[in-house]
Structure 1
């Protein structure tokens, strides 16, 4: 008697279960479809990032223009102010038939004398090969040490009255830990083949002969720096006993000393000196792929440090 009543109920449950499973399968297919579409889009974006230059440095202007090359930050072989990048931009600017004049915009505390020397020599070569194109240095906040080394190759140097200019000197810096090691009972064990192989080792007592040799090196490089400045500035330079001592001056003082020629900005020099207001930036910049790679490397390094020392990430924000 109970069988006829239960059988339709059983069939209904089976049909509901089949319909539910079918709905689940449809939803799963839809989710996977969305996932693969997003993955494909991400792949396409990654390809575009790698093959397209997004930095906007492509030369689009026609006709006469003022070429701009930036020297920003510390001058070294791996940064934005490396000789390779600066010289590459300068070569493009000098070789462009539309270039009416070049502005070297400098905002740098200095850096490697080798990198600065390479840029200086290349400017000299390019100016000789392109005598009709004048190059002017425009100083923003700072043009010190290696930055001024490069600036001295320009036809004229323009500054702001509050710019910091100079620091014509050379340094070699380090630390000595021998006192701390003695206090902590740490013994230095240094083995060398060659009596000066451990030259100025910070964990060993300072050797008088090595110190003297280092000073000789610095004096020679300093002499090279002084020669470059004298050659570049010529009769405009009003030498004083402090000029090559490593001191720095304001832009106003630098004009009086002959370290700079006049006051000016990129716009004013382009307009009033070169007389072509259209400014085109030739600076070599990192594209978005390079910036992403550098950022990724920085994030990985930071994560390793946080894990190594068990540091709460929120403490760094």
Structure 2
């Protein structure tokens, strides 16, 4: 056989391309949820950096379902909401089911995103839940004075400097923050209730911020069952091909160009590391 014939024999014929099986597209959603990524940080999730992966996943012409592989300790509530809404928009447009699979953790904003799926499955060791709101920070009211630095802060509007880390904490500012937390918590509870509906157990307070392992999460209705992606998809769609799409950082970000200053980048890494560490990860 000539070289030309050998090469052409390896090119799929048009009929063969049409006969290929169905597809289940997997989207990896791994990392802390944040509006802005950092080339020095562990993987992050934002509405911007998952958009291309979601579009590619839902654009398959032989699509049977989309699977979300969620591994996130949470993060920014607005980004969580935007991603969840985008998943629902694409699912409704394409009229395909969405299944979520939790890995190490789907907590807080990670669980918010998982609730965008029609069904949620957890590994028996997964940590699931943390339906609550938290804000962390530091206070340095005496630090500048110790080093002989004078703080100069000019503002218009009496509340413009709320929670300034170099000023003494004011009770009224803490009360204001607590009210914001309550409003965000109510929105979180409403979303989970809307998505999980009658599946949720009334046995204990699901909205206290606690987390549960996979089997208990299934008993409480936070997830639909215990299992991993390969076995569940294999049973539900035995003839489907699994394709994986993952968010990619822009080339400049991967090279570290345009990164923040070293000090701020390291602080950013430390903060995200602390987010994982709250769950022992």
How many residues are matched?
240
One of 192, 195, 199 as aligned partner of 2:162: 199
CA distance in 2, matches of 1:130, 1:297: 37
Cα deviation per residue 1:256-292 (whole Å; 9 max; x = unaligned)? 11101111212112211233442101223236x4465
- Offset at residue 160 of structure 1 (A): 0.8
SS at the partner of 2:45? coil
User: What's 2:27 paired with?
Assistant: 69
User: What's 1:315 paired with?
Assistant: none
User: What's 2:86 paired with?
Assistant: 122
Question: Structure 1 residues 290, 277: closer, same or farther in 2, change over 3 A?
Answer: farther
Higher strand share: 2
CA distance in 2, matches of 1:241, 1:192: 46
User: What's 2:278 paired with?
Assistant: none
Q: Tell me if structure 2 keeps the 8 A contact 1:152–1:232.
A: yes
Q: CA RMSD in A?
A: 2.6
Q: Report the TM-score, using the length of structure 2 for normalisation.
A: 0.77
- The answer to whether 1:96 aligns with 2:55 is no
Question: Structure 1 residues 286, 185: closer, same or farther in 2, change over 3 A?
Answer: closer
Higher helix share: 1
One of 108, 132, 145 as aligned partner of 1:145: 108
SS at the partner of 1:117? helix
User: What's 1:18 paired with?
Assistant: none
User: What's 1:311 paired with?
Assistant: none
CA distance in 1, matches of 2:70, 2:34: 14
CA distance in 1, matches of 2:91, 2:240: 22
Q: Tell me if structure 1 keeps the 8 A contact 2:121–2:223.
A: yes
- Offset at residue 240 of structure 1 (A): 4.6
Q: Tell me if structure 2 keeps the 8 A contact 1:267–1:277.
A: no
Q: Tell me if structure 1 keeps the 8 A contact 2:21–2:240.
A: no
- The answer to whether 1:293 aligns with 2:251 is no
Matches within 5 A, 1:128-277: 128-131=92-95, 133-178=96-141, 188-277=151-240
CA distance in 2, matches of 1:241, 1:196: 39
Question: What are structure 2's unaligned runs of at least 5 residues?
Answer: 1-18, 38-43, 267-281
CA distance in 2, matches of 1:149, 1:68: 18
Cα deviation per residue 1:213-258 (whole Å; 9 max; x = unaligned)? 1111111111111111011111111135531111111111101111
Which entry has the higher C-alpha Rg, 1 or 2? 1
Q: Tell me if structure 1 keeps the 8 A contact 2:21–2:239.
A: no
CA distance in 1, matches of 2:139, 2:107: 27
